[in-house]
Amino acid sequence: MIQHNIRNIAIIAHVDHGKTTLVDEMLKQSGTFRSNEQIDERVMDSNDLERERGITILAKNTSILYKDVKINIVDTPGHADFGGEVERIMKMVDGVLLLVDAFEGPMPQTKFVLRKALESGIKPVVVINKIDRPEARCEAVVDEVLDLFIDLGADDEQLEFPVVYASAKQGIARYEITDTNQDMHPLLDMILAEVPAPEGILEDGLQLTISSIDYDKYVGRIGIGKITRGSIRKNQEAVLCTADGQFKNFRISKLYAYHGLNKVEMEEAQFGEIVAIAGIESLNIGETVCSTDKIEPLPFIKIDEPTIAMYFIVNDSPFAGKDGQFVTSRHLRDRLQRELLSNVALRVEDTDSPDSFKVSGRGELHLSILIETMRREGYELSVSKPEVIMRTIDGALCEPMEHVTIETPEEFMGVVIETLGQRKGEMINMFTNSNGSIKLEFRIPARGLIGYRSEFMTDTRGNGILNHIFDGYAPHKGEIKSRSRGSLVAFESGTAVTYGLYNAQERGSLFIVPGTEVYEGMIVGENARAGDIAVNVCKRKQLTNVRASGSDDSMRLVPPKKLSLEQALEFIADDELVEVTPKNIRLRKKLLDKHARAKATRG
């Protein structure tokens, strides 16, 4: 049996190629919103962090009604760090829209998300987006997409992919670039024609894979997934087939489906529909819900393993507990365990210390988003420098590699190649773009990229674009030179004053301003040379009849360098931590006492 009135699609693409904007237009032009309704841009990016950064972090569900067909849409992240979100979504859909920028063409993440779709046997619809860009090169990009399909081993049917040309920003989609229509209907018609309708047996027992988790403070955990077989009813008795092979009976207390941006309570739903269910707290991603009379779990969703790890540590600085509401190891453990329930690419391990947890993820951005989220929720913690996760393969020590794509003006090409060469990067491709910029491709150890992004932006004066994606494991490449400059470390606790900072800035660049509370062992700046220096930023001028405190006004301080969370994580050395609180981000030494640090250095 075929559900002709349903289509399930995911929208996949490299970051910033326009997925969320395209969903906005599909929602608007399908009549999902009232004509007088006030609509925000990027309505699917509901998370504060997503809106601030302009990226999608969590996969989200919505639906539209077009020509009496319900189209369930999943908007997925474009960053490689959130690839775990993309992988599990493939189990929920029957087709994908692959968005490609009409100028940039296929990028590293395009390759990653397309591989996941092809491995799942899904035939993509290719959407060449941003055709309104002056430098758009639509025909060449279609050829590049075809080459990418061939490289990834697409079968003959997948190679016959349909193409739509669109400008999500202008709200238009066209079969041919020369068409003149001013709406998205060609894309919507293409979805109905090319995306298969769900097939299944209605009379068979229920089978539903949990692909995503939501939470409601009234009904608890909510599992989201596609019904692959049979039907589901509210208050139905069902069986949860867990990852470790257990079977748990429960009753489906709530049943929802998606209509527009809202979850709507349902009494019943049939195979092919994407639904959300509640009724059991121990629900996890990848598990199968079955009817009691036919228990057949589906294969568990395989998720790529983490490549980066860092330690989350209970904050023990002199300022601990001043800002945060949740500060103990129990608070930290409970929050990390809760994150594991929905963040499938994350791993949390206990350590020898009850106050420290090893947290592993897909990349620096993946972990920094978690830290920033916890910080905004009132948590206070310290985190260590990110480190890559090594593996032993065939008796050899191997490390994760990254495929790096860089676009930069020609004048900065030399310094980029030299710096990445020092970080064990191997250039594999170089060519000139139609706008005169240079495109470089490297294969580099993941640890060679830690701390590089801020250096890259300095080297290219903000004109460069850097993208990278996991590219397997390779034998260890040897030692990579770490940070060449040391830290300026506060000599004593107190309040920073202009006089003390004026003397300290002669040694390097500062991170703080006058009036900042500091403690011994806190990092207040970057040394201009190698090695750490203790500086007394609290030192006041000795007052005499000749020298008055007002003369401090004539001392000119260089504006301090304000570090974001990602920049702080990139900056710190192995013996340093980032102290994260709801109101502050501070850098500090692991050992705050200068005598203890000196002793450890000698040891």
Q: What is the mean pLDDT of residues 172-176?
A: 89
Token pair, residue 316, equals 């023990």
Adjacent-strand bridge partners of 439: 407, 431
Does residue 547 have a pLDDT over 80? no
CB 580 within 8 A of CB 335: no
Q: What is the mean pLDDT of residues 299-318?
A: 84
| Known binding-site positions for GTP | 16-21, 129-132
In this structure, what DSSP letter does residue 282 have? T
pLDDT of residue 443: 92
- Spatial separation of the C-alpha atoms in residues 425 and 448, rounded to whole Å: 8
Architecture of domain 487-602: Beta Barrel (2.40)
Q: DSSP for 190-242? A: HHHHHSPPPB--TTSPPEEE--EEEEETTTEEEEEEEEEESEEETT-EEEEE-
Mean pLDDT, the chain, integer: 82
CB 288 within 8 A of CB 208: yes
Q: What is the mean pLDDT of residues 188-216?
A: 85
Adjacent-strand bridge partners of 551: none
Q: What is the mean pLDDT of residues 365-375?
A: 86
Percent of the chain with pLDDT over 90: 21
Q: 312 by DSSP, 3-state: which?
A: strand
Domain 207-291 has CATH 3.50.50.60: no
pTM assigned to the model:
0.73
- Sign, CA dihedral 207-252-269-263, equals negative
Does residue 24 have a pLDDT over 60? yes
Domain 391-475 has CATH 3.30.70.240: yes
What's the per-residue H, E or C state across 126-174?
A: EEEECCCCCCCCHHHHHHHHHHHHHHCCCCHHHHCCCEEEEECCCCEEE
**Structure confidence by residue, pLDDT tens digits, 253-305:** 989 888 877 788 889 988 888 888 988 877 777 788 999 888 888 877 666 67
CB 372 within 8 A of CB 49: yes
CB 482 within 8 A of CB 461: no
Give domain limits for the chain: 6-194, 207-291, 391-475, 487-602
Report residue 239: phi and psi, to 5°.
Answer: -125, 130
Token pair, residue 475, equals 């034998």
**Structure confidence by residue, pLDDT tens digits, 474-527:** 999 888 876 778 899 999 999 999 999 998 888 889 999 999 999 999 999 999
Tell me whether domains 6-194 and 487-602 share a fold: no
pLDDT of residue 602: 77
CB 434 within 8 A of CB 135: yes
What is the topology classification, in CATH, of domain 6-194? Rossmann fold (3.40.50)
- Spatial separation of the C-alpha atoms in residues 16 and 327, rounded to whole Å: 36
Question: Do β-strands 124-129 and 163-167 pair in parallel, antiparallel, or remain unpaired?
Answer: parallel
pLDDT tier, 43 (very low <50, low <70, confident <90, very high otherwise)? very low
Token pair, residue 42, equals 């990027």
